[in-house]
Amino acid sequence: MDQSARFALPFLAPGQMQKETFHNEALQAIDMLLCPIVEGLPVQLPPISAAIGSCYLVGADAGGAWLGQDGALACMTDGGWRYISSTEGLSVLDRATGEVIVHRNGNWEAGIVRAQEVRIDDQVVLRNRQPAIAAPAGGSIMDNECRAAVAAILTTLRVHGLIA
């Protein structure tokens, strides 16, 4: 085995000549993967003048210098474009929006947070979706304002996906 399984980082071999080349390539890849920040959603063509250190998500049907790199993380280095093939679960941060973009099922997914629950100051504020709640009906005394308020609350909970 001459490279790592997940990101194809090159391994050094005993007696290998020009080890610094392989070592430097591995450092370039690690630099790309360590807290990666990208310049937006996937695009098909590389920017005309990318700054050294800037990274991009390569879109489908990419062209130009990115031909054949669909779905990869592309970073401009002093030696030109370098690529890391996307792997399931690879996460990057979009510099412009602050959103996390995750590679799932062969695609880049932006703006979606997946969790079992959300806690703030160790207090659970969101958990799994609850069953439907019926709108108020019947009763011997009707308060139309109260019913309208409850109906509005239930509608909002449904729109936000908190109840069925």
Residue 14 lies in a domain: no
**What pairing do the DSSP bridges indicate for beta strands 91-94 and 37-38?**
parallel
What pLDDT does residue 80 have? 92
What pLDDT does residue 13 have? 80
Q: Are residues 73 and 49 in the same domain?
A: yes
Q: Are residues 122 and 104 in the same domain?
A: no
**What are the pLDDT digits (tens) for 127-152?**
888 888 888 888 888 888 998 999 99
Write out the residue range of the structural domain in which residue 47 sits.
Answer: 19-110
**What are the pLDDT digits (tens) for 81-98?**
999 989 899 999 999 999
Q: Are residues 126 and 151 in the same domain?
A: yes
What pLDDT does residue 140 have? 83
Q: Are residues 122 and 95 in the same domain?
A: no
Are the C-beta atoms of 13 and 2 separated by less than 8 Å?
Answer: yes
What pLDDT does residue 60 have? 92
Domain tally for the chain? 2
Q: Are residues 92 and 138 in the same domain?
A: no
What pLDDT does residue 39 have? 95
Q: What is the mean pLDDT of each run of 10 residues along the chain (164 residues)?
A: 77 81 79 87 94 94 96 92 91 94 93 88 86 84 89 90 84
Residue 10 lies in a domain: no
Are the C-beta atoms of 65 and 46 separated by less than 8 Å?
Answer: yes
What pLDDT does residue 22 have? 76
Q: Are residues 98 and 126 in the same domain?
A: no
- End-to-end Cα distance, the chain: 51
Q: Are residues 60 and 136 in the same domain?
A: no
- Token representation of residue 6: 């997940």
What pLDDT does residue 9 have? 76
What pLDDT does residue 67 have? 97
Could you tell me which residues come within 8 angstroms of residue 51 by beta carbon, excluding any fewer than 6 positions away? Answer: 76
Q: Are residues 35 and 99 in the same domain?
A: yes
Residue 2 lies in a domain: no
What pLDDT does residue 37 have? 92
Q: Are residues 27 and 73 in the same domain?
A: yes
